[in-house]
Amino acid sequence: MNIDIVYLWVDGNDPVWRAKKEAFERGVPHSASEALAEARFVDNDELKYSLRSVERFAPWIHHIYIVTDRQVPAWIDLTNKRISIVDHTEIMPREALPSFSSPAIEWCIDNIPGLSEHFLLANDDTFIGREVGPDFFFNPKGEPIVRLKKWASSKRRISLYLKTVERAQHAIEREFGKRIKHIPHHNIDAYRKSDFKACKKIFEQEVNETIHRHIRSEKDFQRVAISYYALAIGAGELRLMGRYNRSASLTGKLACLLRNRFTYDSRRIAITVPDIRAVLDKYSPTLYCLNDGEEANEECRERVRRFLEEEFPVKSSFEL
C-alpha cells in the first residue's frame, strides 16, 4: 500500500503573512490571545530537517504534501516529483480563509488531490529518529496504529487544546457508547482517508464549525476524534505511551511491556530542555517532537537549530 505524509507548515517570519495575521488580530478579543501565540507560528527550519529524517529513516514514503498559506520554503526543490505544495485555497472553503487555526486546516487535508488512502500527518517539529517500516504506523490489515497517552481529566483549569480533546471524547461516547480517556501524544499520526470522511459525515456540524473558525477555539472539534472513531469501530490498534526508556533495567522493561507502555515509540521534548541529546539517549524514541512554546526564547531556538544540523547534516533530495 502507498503511504503519504502530510505536513502543515507556516513561515511566521514572512512579512506578507505577518501583515495578514496582524490585520486579522486587530479584530480579535484579547481573550483569544492564546490561539494566536507567537510560538504557534515560529519557523526554525524544522521542516527541512524533518524531511531529512524521513528520507533517511522512512524512504518508503510515497509522496509528501506540504500544506501552506501562499508560502513556499525557500530551500525546497519543487522539481522533485515526490513533493507537492498545497495551498489552503485548494482544500478549504473560501469563507474559512484566511485560517490561522491548525484544527480547521487539519479537517480539510482529506481534500488534497491525489492523497493516498493511508497517510501520516505531521507538524514540522516532528522527526523520525531511527529506521521504521510501514508496520510501525499500520497493522497488517491496513488499520492505523493509534498512539495515545493516559490523561486523568480534572476540574482544575485545563488548556484550550485539552478542552477540544474532551469535546471529541464526549462526541465519540455519544455516538458509539465508548469513552476513550486517552489523549494525543503530539507526534506523527497515522490515518485512513476513509476514516476522515466518515467522521466528517457523522460529526458534520462540529467539523464545519471548526473549519470556519479562523483561529483556535475551545469549541473546536479536535482531529483525535478520527483516531477515537477507528478504535470505537474496531478498525484501529491502540498503543499507549508511558514512562519507559531503553536504558531501564530488565525488570522495568518487563513491567512496561506488560502494562503496554511504550514511550520509546515516541517522545515530546520541550525546546527549553537544556540538553536534547541527553533526553534522546535516555529514551531513544523512534519518533520525537521538539515542541516550541511560550516559555521558549531565541536562545532555545538557536540551540535547536544547532542540534538539528548536527543530527541531520546531509541534505535531502527535496532541497535545492
DSSP assignments along 13-40, one per residue: T-HHHHHHHHHHHTTS-GGGGGGG-GGG
pLDDT band at 45 (very low <50, low <70, confident <90, very high): confident
Q: Whole-prediction pTM value?
A: 0.89
- DSSP 8-state class, residue 136: G
Question: Residue 290 has which C-alpha cell?
Answer: 521538539
Instruction: Using a pLDDT cut of 70, give the percent of the chain over it.
Output: 85
Distance CA 290, CA 61 (A): 22
Mean per-residue pLDDT over the chain, rounded? 87
Tell me how many domains the chain contains. Answer: 1
Question: Residue 164 has which C-alpha cell?
Answer: 477540544
Cis peptide before 98 (omega within 30 of 0): yes
| Residue range 21-39: mean pLDDT, rounded | 61
Check pLDDT > 60 for residue 37.
no
Question: CB atoms < 10 A from the CB of 264, how many?
Answer: 23
Check pLDDT > 70 for residue 41.
no
Question: Residue 263 has which C-alpha cell?
Answer: 514511550
In a domain, 95, yes or no: yes
In DSSP terms, which residues pair with 237 in a beta bridge?
145
Check pLDDT > 70 for residue 242.
no
In a domain, 256, yes or no: no
- CB–CB of 180/230 below 8 Å? no
Instruction: Using a pLDDT cut of 90, give the percent of the chain over it.
Output: 62
Give the pLDDT of residue 158. Answer: 77
pLDDT band at 299 (very low <50, low <70, confident <90, very high): confident
- DSSP 8-state class, residue 76: B
- DSSP 8-state class, residue 155: S
In a domain, 121, yes or no: yes
Check pLDDT > 90 for residue 228.
yes
In a domain, 303, yes or no: no
Give the pLDDT of residue 247. Answer: 46
In a domain, 173, yes or no: yes
In a domain, 41, yes or no: yes
Check pLDDT > 70 for residue 258.
no
CATH of the domain at 190: 3.90.550
**The residue type at 130:** R
Distance CA 245, CA 285 (A): 8
In a domain, 286, yes or no: no
Give the pLDDT of residue 254. Answer: 63
Q: What is the pLDDT of residues 56-105, one digit of tens each?
A: 999 999 999 999 999 999 999 999 999 999 999 999 999 999 999 999 99
- String of DSSP letters for 156-180: S---HHHHHHHHHHHHHHHHHS---
* Contacts of 133 by beta carbon, 8 Å cutoff, 6+ apart: 60
Check pLDDT > 70 for residue 251.
no
| Residue range 211-230: mean pLDDT, rounded | 95
Domain span holding position 117:
3-241
In a domain, 318, yes or no: no
